[in-house]
Amino acid sequence: MKVTFQECCQDLLRDSAGPPARALQQWQLKPELIEVVPFVTEFVHKYLFQIDPAEVELVMSRSGHALGNVQSTEQLPIIENFWTPFALQHLLHWYIEKHRALPTWEDFAAWMTRGDAAALWHQPLAKKLGHPRDNDERLAWSHAAKWRLGKFYLSAIREIDVLARLRQAGCELKYHLLADVLFRADFWSGNSIICLYFPNNNYRSGSETGRKPPAERFFSNAVPPFNIIHFPVGRQGFGKFWLADRDSIEKLAELISTTQ
């Protein structure tokens, strides 16, 4: 199985004048995204759908603690709010398809700071920060960057695990960077759009709260209508792989099957 940009648009853009189409047109015209637009429009997800739960478990067993000794108090707004045209999702999925593998935490960190992705994230961040005044500031920046990358990595592995386990359960879910990054839809299948979230007031505690714009902003008026499923996934402790439990996967699989 593979999912292309064209298939994503065909499945999700049901009205050429609707909110998704308008958002897509605006996105394509943004000068700061001149390199991102062709990257996304040409991106094909293929190996992603070959990842099974066993590969996820193997990667988890080979990964060190993504946050290490870094604590939440070491977050820095300048790094938490740092933005580049290429989102972290773009760079992770580039790794997956380029290497035909799910990265361990060490592989991902190296890819982001010393590998091909460094020029698109780590180097712009270093330019933004400038030169540290002393070793304490250098260490603070390093810890804050690790916190941001580590949080993202753990969350991304959780989502890929959900995708793999639901597909193993017979739910042919699709994913594309366009749907995730622009439309805030984690996965879709037929008329169902699935949005996963951690209950967290800083980000989102449901479909209408938090920092992440909900998929309803784009898809609530689609004809025929989509069934938008917001599904909470509980955390499992500091710095651990936050995987959905078996009951959650079974409930979500049943919910998806009954809405097709």
d(CA 82, CA 258): 40
How far from chain centre, in Å, is Cα 40? 14
d(CA 64, CA 239): 10
The domain in which residue 11 lies consists of 5-258
Q: Which amino acid is at 178?
A: L
Token pair, residue 185, equals: 């839809």
Residue 18 has pLDDT above 60, yes or no: yes
Enumerate residues 6+ apart whose C-beta is below 8 A from 29.
Answer: none
Contacts 24+ apart (CB under 8 A), 196-202: 196/158, 196/159, 196/162, 196/231, 196/232, 196/233, 197/230, 197/231, 197/232, 197/233, 198/155, 198/232, 198/233, 198/234, 198/235, 198/242, 199/232, 199/234
Tens of pLDDT, residue by residue over 165-188, are 999 999 999 999 999 999 999 999
Q: Which of the residue ranges 122-131, 193-202, 235-244 would you say has the lowest mean pLDDT?
A: 235-244
How far from chain centre, in Å, is Cα 177? 8
253 in Cβ contact with 169 (< 8 Å): yes
- 10 Å CB burial of residue 226 (0-12, 13-18, 19+) is buried
Q: Which residue has the tokens 């025929």?
A: 224
Q: Rounding to the nearest 10 degrees, give the CA dihedral for residues 81, 83, 86, 89.
A: 10
Tens of pLDDT, residue by residue over 183-232, are 999 999 999 999 987 665 444 444 444 445 689 999 988 988 999 999 88
Query: What are the backbone angles phi and psi of residue 63, rounded to the nearest 5°?
Result: -95, 140
How far CA 63 is from CA of 47, 54, 104, 224, 240, in Å, comes to 20, 14, 5, 44, 11
Instruction: Pick 234 or 113 by higher pLDDT.
Output: 113
**In the chain, count of helices (H) and strands (E)?**
12, 3
Tens of pLDDT, residue by residue over 132-166, are 999 999 999 999 999 999 999 998 999 999 999 99
- Residue (of 167, 175, 149, 154) closest to 97 by Cα position: 175
Enumerate residues 6+ apart whose C-beta is below 8 A from 206.
Answer: 197, 199, 230
If one counts the domains in the chain, the total is 1
